[in-house]
Structure 1
C-alpha cells in the first residue's frame, strides 16, 4: 500500500498492488467493455510491456488493460481511453523521448503558463515524458496521464500546454477520488473534471 502526501495535503492510502474484483467489474461496466475481454491485452502482454519499460503498472489499471480493455472509444476522457502503447492524436510528439522508468518529477501542481520566467526546459520535458503513460485526451493538448514511477505512482494528472495538476479531492479542484478507479468513477457519474469550488 502506497501513501502519497505533500505540503498541506492529508495522506490518502491507495492499494496499487492488488485489485478488488468488484472494482474491476465496476470499471468494466463504466467503460462498456465486452464481458469476454476480447480487447484486453492479457497478462503476458502486460508483463512484456512492463519489462520493456522497466516499470510495474499500478493497480487497478494493470488488471484493467490485462483483463478488461486496452482502450475505450466511449471514454474517459472525452476522446476515449487510448491503448497502453498508444498516444492521443494531438499529443504533439511520437513519444520516442518518453522514459517510463524515470520518475515523474512533480508532487505538486505546476502552472508554468504566465510565470515571469521561462520554465526550465529539462523539467518541462520531464513532466511530459517521464514516469507516466498517457490515458487519453480532452482535446486541445489537455492530456490525462497515469503516473507509473515516482512519489505520485498511481495518481492521475492532467497535463496541458499551460500546466500540470493531480486529480483527486485531496489536491483540490475536484470531488473525485484519486487514482485510476476514482478518475473513471468521476467520469462515469457525469461529473465535471474540476467540480470543486
Structure 2
C-alpha cells in the first residue's frame, strides 16, 4: 500500500480500538481510537469553497476515506464540522485557527530572534521590586508584549491546527504558501517559535507521513502491551 493510500486505515483503527492494549497508546484518553464519519467529496468541496483554498491532497483524501477527525497523533486529530452553512475545526486550541485567512501564505519565518532575546532580557524579576503589586503590574505589561510578539494571529495564517499534545503543545498543517502540505510543531508554551516537524533524515513531514507514523507506533505499542 503506497504512502498516499488510505485503503484499510479506518478498519485498522477500528480493530485497534478493540485490542486489549489500546489504552497504552498515548492520547487514548482523548480519542479512544474513535473516528468521525468521513466527509463526502461534495462536503469537502464546500469546505474548500468556504476557505478559499484547496487542502493538501493527503489530508483531503483522509477526510473523505478515513474520517473528519478523531483517532490520531496526540489526543486526536481535530474534527472539522459544520454548523449551519459554516465549517470549523474543534479542539483544544482550534480557536487559534482563523478559517478566513487560510488562503494567505504561511510565514516560515517567525518573530525576529533578536527581538525575542531583547524582550526576554527585559522580563521583570520580583527581587527588583519593593512592592508585590508593582512587580505584578510590570510583569503583566511584559507578558502582554510577549504575547503580542509570539502569539500574533499573523504567525499562523495559512495553517490548520491539527491536534494538541498536552501542555499547550500543538501541531499545524500548512495549507498555503511554500510550506504547503507540511507539518509544523508549535511549542510556544515553552517560549519557542514554531518549527517544521522533520523526519529522521531531516525530511519535511507531510500529513500522510505524520499520520502513518503515529499509526505504526500505535500498532507497536498495542502489540507490546499484549
Q: TM-score, normalised by structure 2?
A: 0.59
Between 176-185 and 130-139, report the one with greater CA deviation: 176-185
Query: Whose Rg is larger?
Result: 2
Residue in structure 1 matching 2:67, options 66, 69, 72:
69
Looking at structure 1, the residues matched to 112 and 214 of structure 2 have their Cα atoms a distance apart, in angstroms, of 24
Structure 1 pair 111–53 and aligned structure 2 pair: CA distance change class (3 A): same
Q: Which residue of 2 aligns with 1:14?
A: none
> What does the per-residue CA deviation read over 1:66-89, in whole Å, with 9 as the maximum and x for residues that have no partner?
2220011x322x211111331422
Structure with higher helix content? 2
Structure 1 pair 55–122 and aligned structure 2 pair: CA distance change class (3 A): farther
Select which of 136, 146, 149 maps to 2:173.
146
Give 1:42 deviation, angstroms. 0.8
Contact 1:87 1:136 in 2 (8 A): no
- 1:27, 1:184 within 8 Å by CA — same for their partners in 2? no
Question: Which residue of the other structure, out of 141, 146, 154, is the alignment partner of 1:126?
Answer: 154
**What is the Cα-based RMSD across aligned positions, in Å?**
3.7
Aligned to 1:195: none
Alignment of 1:26-175 (within 5 A): 27-28=9-10, 31-32=13-14, 39-72=37-70, 74-76=71-73, 78-84=74-80, 85-89=88-92, 91=93, 93=95, 95-96=97-98, 99-106=101-108, 115-118=116-119, 121=149, 124-128=152-156, 130-161=157-188, 162-169=192-199, 172=202
CA contact (8 A) 1:43 1:67 kept: no
Shift in CA distance, 30/146, structure 1 to aligned 2, threshold 3 Å: farther
Separation in 2 of the partners of 1:51 and 1:101?
11
Higher RCO by CA contacts (8 Å cutoff, separation 6 or greater)? 2
Tell me the SS of whatever aligns to 2:209: helix
Q: Residues 9-67 of structure 1, C-alpha deviation per residue, up to 9 Å, x if partnerless?
A: xxxxxxxxxxx696212643564499xx9701111111111111110001111011022
Cα pair distance change 1:86/1:110, threshold 3 Å: same
Gaps of 5+ in 2: 18-34, 81-87, 120-145, 219-226
**How many residues are matched?**
162
Structure 1: which 5+ runs fail to align?
1-19, 192-197
Match of 1:190 among 217, 223, 226: 217
Partners of 2:110 and 2:12 lie apart in 1 by 28
